[in-house]
Amino acid sequence: MRALIVDDDEGIRWVLARVLKEEGFDVLEAGTLADAKLLQKDGVDLVFLDVFLPDGNGMNALSEGMFSAPVIMLTAETTFGHAAEAYREGAMEYLPKPFDLDEVRALAQRVQPVKPSKQTHQAVQEEKEPQSSIIIGRSEAMQNMFRTLGRVATSDLTVLITGESGTGKELVAQELHRLSLRKKEIFIAINTAAIPSELLEAELFGHEKGSFTGANKAREGLFEQADGGTLFLDEIGDMPMALQSKMLRVLETGMVQRIGSNQEKSVNVRLLAATHQHLQQKIKEGLFREDLYYRLNVIPVHIPPLRDRRDDIPELAEFLLQQAADDLSMVAPILLDDAVGLLQRYDWHGNIRELKNVMRRLAVLTPGASITLSDVALALGHDGAHGTGHKLETLDEAVVRCLRTYMDQLGYAEATDMHRNLLAMVEPALLRLILEKCGGNQLKASDMLGLNRNTVRKLIRQYDIDPAYFKP
């Protein structure tokens, strides 16, 4: 088996090559598309392809049929749109950087001697669109969601989107429509919980003239209006039981019947639904039909709350801050690290909707060119240490977060002698903090640290720390 790695980053090629060789592959490496074209002449079984290369775009090369072997796209982008585009262009898989080596091994083991299908791409043939959605994130949960959405975007399968209020369920539905074969047709969204139950049936299925008081003329329902396009039903968990039966019939037959009519009409609608409720619990309580649930839950997609993907918050905050600045025709202030840290520690019960409002508030009200910790605390409505929806970060959580950032900064460099290096960074910082607390008194510092006084003196000399600096 032969694998071809196409990436202009030598470090990435080295890491991938090492893993693939362990899996029994002969590995070829290319830093440009031109080199890749020459190297694959003798045949390869798997291609790892970067998007941005010195002599062209890997995604374009894939769509033009340059590679006959299965292709795994490598990209630093962390958006659903990018994942969907990779699948649409015929990629076997989409792998965001930095990638997990175990995932690379699993992908290598999945390789089959078949060529990737280009049918979907040929059917779509659509222009590239800029990414403007806030469906972004490099956390594992979000990347898994992107993969699911990317695979079903061009299908007509029914998708049930679950998640807390404010997580962006309608945004996901809009993206699914935008990347579907129905993208040029209408997209209609309705919040079923916002319409009185007695009016919801007429809104969805339409009515004939005189079918009820106030029905002065015949009216198409949303299913008829969305014919050929996509209908998104938000908060479907609140739909009345009586209406659920009629909804089930539409999904089973593709036929709708207006109120007051004895005739049915065929409609071709892709249905997307969403809810923040636990539908299986509602089924147990007799408030939701089990057969309708299974009709809706063909492809389940769950959007995790922000507190479960805190590592995504810095990227989201920067995006939303820039978006707010663009909307207000102003220059976006800079988010300082300690301000980002507070954003990550906040629990965000309102999820992305709440984060978006806070970033807009900061864009408008920040007095200087930088957003500080106190600016964020003020925007959140508390002093930065306590307040509604805020949970103090434990020392363990802070250490893990900082170590993760440090490891990310290492990138693909091989980590060596980690214990000594980390100790050399942490130990002097701890010494300075304790000396500051003890006013430079080395005896007190020794007691606080639980170390011999001579050991503390030795460390002070080793790290070139002046205790007199901390004296009152």
Domain check: are 295 and 169 in the same one? Answer: yes
Indicate whether 275 belongs to any domain.
yes
Residue 116's alpha-carbon distances to 70, 75, 89, 119, 143, in angstroms, are: 6, 19, 10, 9, 21
Q: How many structural domains does the chain have?
A: 4
Domain with residue 217: its CATH number is: 3.40.50.300
Domain check: are 77 and 163 in the same one? Answer: no
Domain check: are 322 and 238 in the same one? Answer: no
User: What is the rounded CA–CA span in Å between residue 428 and residue 197?
Assistant: 66
Domain check: are 37 and 99 in the same one? Answer: yes
Domain with residue 344: its CATH number is: 1.10.8.60
Indicate whether 142 belongs to any domain.
no
Indicate whether 140 belongs to any domain.
no
Indicate whether 139 belongs to any domain.
no
pTM higher than 0.75: no
Q: Please, are residues 252 and 291 in contact by the beta-carbon 8 Å criterion?
A: no
Domain check: are 46 and 128 in the same one? Answer: yes
Q: Which residue segment(s) compose the domain that 262 sits in?
A: 155-302
Q: Is the pLDDT of residue 261 over 80?
A: yes
Q: Are strands 334-335 and 370-371 parallel, antiparallel or unpaired?
A: parallel
Structure confidence at residue 82 (pLDDT) = 67
**Of the candidates 369, 390, 415, which is a domain's last residue?**
415
Domain check: are 163 and 199 in the same one? Answer: yes
Instruction: Report residue 468's pLDDT band, with 50, 70 and 90 as the boundaries.
Output: confident
Structure confidence at residue 410 (pLDDT) = 60
**CB count in 10 Å sphere of residue 294:** 12
Question: Percent of the chain at pLDDT above 70?
Answer: 87
**Range picked from 4-13, 67-76, 128-137, 250-259 for highest mean pLDDT:** 250-259
Domain check: are 402 and 448 in the same one? Answer: no
Domain check: are 289 and 159 in the same one? Answer: yes
Q: Is the pLDDT of residue 307 over 50?
A: yes
Structure confidence at residue 125 (pLDDT) = 37
Mean of the pLDDT values across residues 231-250? 93
Indicate whether 181 belongs to any domain.
yes
Indicate whether 445 belongs to any domain.
yes
Structure confidence at residue 127 (pLDDT) = 39
Q: Are strands 255-256 and 265-266 parallel, antiparallel or unpaired?
A: antiparallel
Structure confidence at residue 464 (pLDDT) = 85
Mean of the pLDDT values across residues 239-243? 91
User: What is the rounded CA–CA span in Å between residue 466 and residue 161?
Assistant: 59
Domain check: are 321 and 395 in the same one? Answer: yes
Average pLDDT, the chain: 83
Q: Is the pLDDT of residue 123 over 80?
A: no
* Residue whose entry in the numeric block shows the structure tokens 């809810």: 275
| pLDDT tens for each residue of 141-155 | 888 888 888 888 888
Q: CA torsion 381→385→388→390, rounded to 10°? A: 120
**Of the candidates 302, 331, 355, which is a domain's last residue?**
302
Structure confidence at residue 214 (pLDDT) = 73
User: What is the rounded CA–CA span in Å between residue 249 and residue 162?
Assistant: 23
Q: Which residues pair with 232 in a beta bridge?
A: 189, 272
**Of the candidates 79, 101, 134, which is a domain's last residue?**
134
Domain check: are 203 and 298 in the same one? Answer: yes
Indicate whether 284 belongs to any domain.
yes
Domain with residue 32: its CATH number is: 3.40.50.2300
Domain check: are 222 and 115 in the same one? Answer: no
Instruction: Report residue 274's pLDDT band, with 50, 70 and 90 as the boundaries.
Output: very high
Instruction: Report residue 247's pLDDT band, with 50, 70 and 90 as the boundaries.
Output: very high
Burial 23-59 (b: 16+ CB within 10 A, else e): bebebbbbbebebbeebbeeebbbbbbbbebeeeebb
* Residue whose entry in the numeric block shows the structure tokens 């690290």: 337
Domain with residue 458: its CATH number is: 1.10.10.60
Q: Is the pLDDT of residue 81 over 70?
A: no
Domain check: are 159 and 252 in the same one? Answer: yes
| pLDDT tens for each residue of 411-467 | 545 566 778 888 888 888 888 888 888 888 898 989 999 999 889 999 988 888 888
Structure confidence at residue 227 (pLDDT) = 95
Indicate whether 147 belongs to any domain.
no
Q: Is the pLDDT of residue 217 over 60?
A: yes
